[in-house]
Amino acid sequence: MIRRWILYPLLALFGVAAMAVAMLAIVLVLTYPNLPSLEILTDYRPKIPLRVYTADKHLIGEFGEERRVMVRFDEVPAMLKQAILAAEDDRFYQHWGVDIQGVVRATLNNLFGGGRRQGASTITQQVARNFFLSSEQTYWRKLHEALLSFKIEHNLTKDQIFELYINQIYLGQRAYGFAVAAQTYFGKPLQELNVAEAAMLAGLPKAPSAFNPVVNPKRARLRQQYVLRRMNLLGFIDARQYEAALEQPLVIRRETGDYAVHAEYVAEMARQIAAERFPEEVYSRGLSVFTTITLADQEAAYASLRRNVLDYDRRHGYRGAEAYADLSEIGSEQDEALDELLQDYHDSEDLRPAVVLQADAKQIRAYRRGGEIVTIKGDGLKFAARMIDDKAPPNKRLRRGAIIRVQKDDKDNWRVTQMPEVEAAFLSVDPQNGAIRSLVGGFDFARNKFNHATQAWRQPGSSFKPFIYSGALEKGFTPLSVVEDEPISIPASVTGSQAWEPKNYDGKYEGPMRLRTALAKSKNMVSIRLLQASGVHFIQDYITRFGFDAEKHPAYLTMALGAGSVTPWQMVTAYSVFANGGYKIQPFIVSQIRDEKNQIIAEAQPTPAGDESLLAIDPRNAYLMDSMLRDVTLYGTAARASATLKRRDLEGKTGTTNEHVDAWFCGYQRTVAGCSWIGFDQPKNMGNGETGTSAALPAWIGYMSKALRNVPQSFMPVPDGLVAVDIPDPEKGPSREYFYQENVPPPDGPEPAPPPYEDMRSFSPG
């Protein structure tokens, strides 16, 4: 009787088990043949983003939903592989896709452990899930995952599976794969990771958001410590390495969009060009765009522009707190809530946001993102001193909770600074072929993505005068032609609106003056008379040879003062005509686009040197303008350039618009032309004394000091058709001047008279 009581239940249990096995076998027989093809794995083609590089192959931008860099298995350091195995699947090289021991261990722990639920997914299962399955938690999906894992193990080697995992897994911050994650979080390639960093990355696959060291540094640290313990337990690292890794400080990159080169505006221009040319799969095909800029040129331009803008900003005083945060519920000076308060304030290079914890006349204590407490005192407070005083405006005063910017000075001490309000642009070009060498479209791309180098239409002021002078040379004037520098007054009866009484910048008038001297001194009255004598309609048409739009420069005498509209891109193009001897260039910023197989699929066609069809102005005109523009940098408004750079082969012109709204300097040496602009997005007075000389020229000089290093001086050869004449000068002594051979003055005689002035009634101030 007892045997029956035991036997029947056993038979029933055996029957149920047999039925379950039979059903499972049927499911396997029906399901396995219908599993997806593994072609996606054996012919692995992940979504590779569009990448943009400098001409010397430095990465400056990536565009796509997924940031990914493919690496071969043998390129991955053994220490990182061990960290991944310790964190995810230490029996990877023993199981067949599903770790039965792990499943049993996790099941028992989930049933009797009473703690957090455990999983037992292997690396192979994660590959199956990432490539073929959703993340839903159902038994049917689990079964498919297991079957796919067996199939994958049957068709690929362990190392092939591991390589897929290393390249495909999502690790937070849009980073797919460990190669990108290493750059994203630590700014270094896989081969340079230390044990502590490898453990941090290996801990991410389990929960990329929860263990993200940028967003959750404490949880990420706990996860890293767990991985290190596992590595030690499994014998991947010894006790000494384990302790050293625990103590190793980790420097996490928080500005994850940063690259080795500051060229965000260039990268965006390249992206737009690639997307327009190849709209299909542009962000997933793996295209590589090579720009014309170089690392050295771009960094020189970026650093010089920022330095110039910050110098301008400091000249005009501290404006006060950027914002205020409520610190009433902050528990301690190391509270993570302080980091959260600063999340909306990005680092602008070395201008770091900080929240003030305590402020008085002697010192400021402030919290920087990441937990650093900085103390600012002495010289570091001088710039902001008036905003610490109790008499400062309440909405600007530096007090507890104020958001400020801090920066290290040359002695490595912290000082108070601020984000400038003024904007700027700088770009340089090879005037011989049009290749852009550097381009900075604004102070901070993260703050303002408007590209001032290509999109900002501004008045050029006196930097436009060389094109008036060039047109006048075509009308028979010479550098020695004499024009009156005397006040001009045009009554309302002529203008049709109100009287126009333009003035020289300095309010001084010097009477009859040679054109060479007038350009060097930037005399407005001479430019107006020169334009009038040459004919405003003639000059309006003439400037199109340099790439300007005629409609942007109405045919009025105000054109002589640069009252039209230009972009810095147009200005550097125009000045290149003088630099290369009279040829119009077409600037370009992308040289090549290559496909995923590194084959060239698009390529720029640079301006061919010496192509007569591209001759914009008479080479003789270019030579004479070059010599007059050199005088500007030797004796005129830009004399600071030659004095600072200690060169005599520099040419250019300053520009300042009415009410000091815009400041320019455009100039060149035969191998490189550059244009510097500074002003406010919403045009307003930059302050008295802020001219092209003081506000724009320093950025040009800063760039050229690097770009022309080790470049020998060179001067334009004299073209055919010019005749040299020695001219007496009562001030400087005899000098040599060149004339068109048809305009050579008679010996000891006067210069040929210029054409007659146009009727004043053709003028309108616009």
Q: Provide the annotated active-site residues.
A: 88, 462
Give the span between the Cα atoms of 714 and 675, in whole angstroms: 20
- Kindly state the DSSP code that residue 458 receives in the 8-state scheme: B
Give the DSSP letter of residue 751.
P
Nearest of 580, 583, 566 to residue 465 by alpha carbon: 566
d(CA 523, CA 505): 8
DSSP state of 165: H
CA 684 – CA 681 distance, rounded (Å): 8
Q: For residues 662 and 677, give the distance between their C-alpha atoms in angstroms, rounded to a whole number.
A: 7
- How far, CA to CA in Å, does 154 sit from each of 35, 96, 97, 148, 158? 13, 8, 9, 10, 10
Question: What sign has the CA pseudo-torsion 122, 126, 128, 129?
Answer: positive
Pure H helices in 254-357? 264-277, 295-315, 336-341
How far is C-alpha 78 from the geometric centre of its chain's CA atoms?
35
Which residues are CB-contacts of 296 (< 8 A; sequence separation ≥ 6)? 706, 707
Amino acid letter at 258? D
Taking phi over 0 as left and psi of -120 to 50 as alpha, with beta for the rest, 657 belongs to beta
**CB atoms inside a 10 Å sphere around CB 352:** 23
Across the strands, what pairs with 289? Answer: 52, 593
Q: Which residue is listed with tokens 């852009």?
A: 436
* 450 φ, ψ (degrees, to nearest 5): -65, 125
The Cα–Cα gap between 651 and 647 comes to 10
Going 323 to 329 to 331 to 335, the CA torsion angle's sign is negative
Angstrom distances, CA of residue 722 to CA of 25, 617, 749: 98, 15, 18
Tokens describing residue 156: 């690929």
Strand bridging mode 59-63 / 323-324: unpaired
Radius of gyration in angstroms for the set of CA atoms belonging to the chain, rounded to a whole number: 35
User: Tokens 């340099």, residue?
Assistant: 546
Helix (H, G, I), strand (E, B) or coil at 414: strand
d(CA 239, CA 436): 55
Q: What is d(CA 417, CA 347) in angstroms, rounded to the nearest whole number?
A: 13
Query: Do 425 and 453 form a contact (C-beta atoms < 8 A)?
Result: yes
For residue 541, give both structure tokens: 């048409």
